[in-house]
Amino acid sequence: MGMIQKAYIVPHPPIIIPEVGQGKEKPAAKTIEAYETIARQIGELAPDVIILTSPHGTVYSDYIHMSPDPLLVGDLRHFGAPRPRLEFQNDEELLTSIVQKAQAAGIEAGTMGAREKYLDHGAFIPLYFIQKYTRPFKLVRISISGLSPITHYRFGTCIARAVEESGSRAVFVASGDLSHKLLDEGPYGFDPHGPEFDKKLASIMQNGDFSELLHMDERLCESAAECGLRSFIIMTGALNGKDIRSVIHSYEGPFGVGYMVAEISVEGENPERDYLLRENQARQERMAEIRRLEDPYVALARRTLETYVRTGKSIDVPKDLPQDMLERRAGVFVSIKKHGQLRGCIGTIAPTAPHIAAEIISNAVQSGTADPRFNPVKENELDDLVYSVDVLGEPEPIESINQLDPVRFGVIVTSGYKRGLLLPNLEGVDTARQQVEIALSKAGIRSNERYTMERFEVVRHK
């Protein structure tokens, strides 16, 4: 049976490569020394394959990309160093197995849509050190995506199962820098959340409670401008249910970016560290409570989409609905989220159906299957979906952005035939200016075009 022998977290600053740094790499001496240490370790392990995750390959919002080319090659020409050039044989058999297991688990992952042929610097830099001490090995290079943290963790468990079936000895290398906002004089400036993020990440690696990675505060991560979290989460998913011992070999931020080199040794099975099982149990309890509290508007949207996805047919209007849903007409938006991330949202500004219930039925199907930003919902996703239904009030014209309140009012912007709408009280939309800018962008209206505005209130059911 194959196994992941060890896993490593590494940074990827091009400046630490002598051909790029040209002597400027000296402030990162601790990082370089730690890199040499773990590269020698990997050489002694003599792995058959190295699985490497990087945030700088082909990245999609809803798809985890894996490099498909039989020969994976790269250099740092974009950083002024066309030499050395490295090349590695892709482990296509393991790659295929990982893709099959991910797709069977309902995870959108595979080799479609490669945007570049060369190894990105997030992959090249660790390989630069590793290849100096190892015999030839095969490589699997994997990118991150905009999918949720738990999806990346689950994907990591698919990797582990594929490795076990392959019979290969594997080493997992998770490439990623920490915060990019550690110094005022750094290229990205300073934010107090930068050191806070790095301290928390180091603590998680030290104590080995990988479940904490799945619940990192999104605003903290965004403010810290990290790039490695999802790369690390895939790696920790591959170690799910394993007893581990972790060592941080170095941490520093000499150029305003956090660099950590950490080693995670696998020391056998440990069911108490099956964080995926814990997360699934917590999710099931949470979803059961959400379903219990659904009002008739939300329940109708959910039943509609579930029926349509499973049978291809839309439901008839139930007869046991509140009279308001059967007698009143209004515009309706149906929003769907999965693991806290938007999965679909489509609606109507003005009523198009005989009553609110029919409007919900139509828009629930559209939201789950026809939102151009997302693939259609699949049956294995249904248990993870959370719905909300917004019933729109009558729009009223306004003359000034000062008449908006992004919590209370939604906004409609119109320029000729172009029209855009943004609902009120949305996470991350804190000002009326933001609200209008997003609505303009959705409508394809330039900010210097003449446009009119309307505001409206909603009754949100969730």
Query: Can you give the pLDDT at residue 297?
Result: 98
Residue 446: phi and psi, rounded to 5, are -75, 150
Spatial separation of the C-alpha atoms in residues 161 and 242, rounded to whole Å: 13
- Whether the model pTM is above 0.75: yes
Query: Can you give the pLDDT at residue 447?
Result: 82
Cβ-in-10-Å burial (0-12, 13-18, 19+) of 408 comes to exposed
**Which among 300, 374, 378, 385 has a CA at the least distance from the CA of 336?**
385
Spatial separation of the C-alpha atoms in residues 156 and 240, rounded to whole Å: 8
Answer for the pair 385, 377: CB distance below 8 angstroms, yes or no: yes
Spatial separation of the C-alpha atoms in residues 266 and 244, rounded to whole Å: 5
In a domain, 193, yes or no: yes
pLDDT tens for the 462 residues of the chain, in order: 899 999 999 999 999 999 999 999 999 999 999 999 999 999 999 999 999 999 999 999 999 999 999 999 999 999 999 999 999 999 999 999 999 999 999 999 999 987 777 899 999 999 999 999 999 999 999 999 999 999 999 999 999 999 999 999 999 999 999 999 999 998 999 999 999 999 999 999 999 999 999 999 989 999 999 999 999 999 999 999 999 999 999 999 999 999 999 999 999 999 999 999 999 999 999 999 999 999 999 999 999 999 999 999 999 999 999 999 999 999 999 999 999 899 999 999 999 999 999 999 999 999 999 999 899 999 999 999 999 999 999 999 999 999 999 999 999 999 999 999 999 999 889 999 999 999 999 899 998 899 999 999 999 998
**Which among 245, 247, 291 has a CA at the least distance from the CA of 268?**
245
Query: Can you give the pLDDT at residue 402?
Result: 94
What's the CATH code of the domain at 434? 3.30.1490.150
Q: Which of 227, 248, 277 is the last residue of a domain?
A: 277
238 & 344 share domain: no
**Which among 405, 406, 407, 414 has a CA at the least distance from the CA of 443?**
414
Beta-carbon neighbour count of residue 289 at 10 Å? Answer: 9
Q: Which of 319, 353, 385 is the last residue of a domain?
A: 385
Cis ω on the peptide bond leading into residue 376 (within 30° of 0)?
A: no
Spatial separation of the C-alpha atoms in residues 250 and 247, rounded to whole Å: 9
Residue with tokens 């740094």: 21
In a domain, 249, yes or no: yes
Query: Can you give the pLDDT at residue 428?
Result: 85
Q: Pseudo-torsion of CA 63, 68, 72, 73, nearest 10°? A: -70
In a domain, 169, yes or no: yes
Domain total for the chain?
3
What's the CATH code of the domain at 60? 3.40.830.10
Spatial separation of the C-alpha atoms in residues 114 and 91, rounded to whole Å: 17
229 & 150 share domain: yes
357 & 404 share domain: no
Spatial separation of the C-alpha atoms in residues 106 and 59, rounded to whole Å: 19
Spatial separation of the C-alpha atoms in residues 177 and 125, rounded to whole Å: 12
Spatial separation of the C-alpha atoms in residues 125 and 18, rounded to whole Å: 11
**In which domain, by residue range, is 341 found?**
294-385
240 & 144 share domain: yes
Spatial separation of the C-alpha atoms in residues 138 and 60, rounded to whole Å: 25
271 & 300 share domain: no
379 & 461 share domain: no
In a domain, 432, yes or no: yes
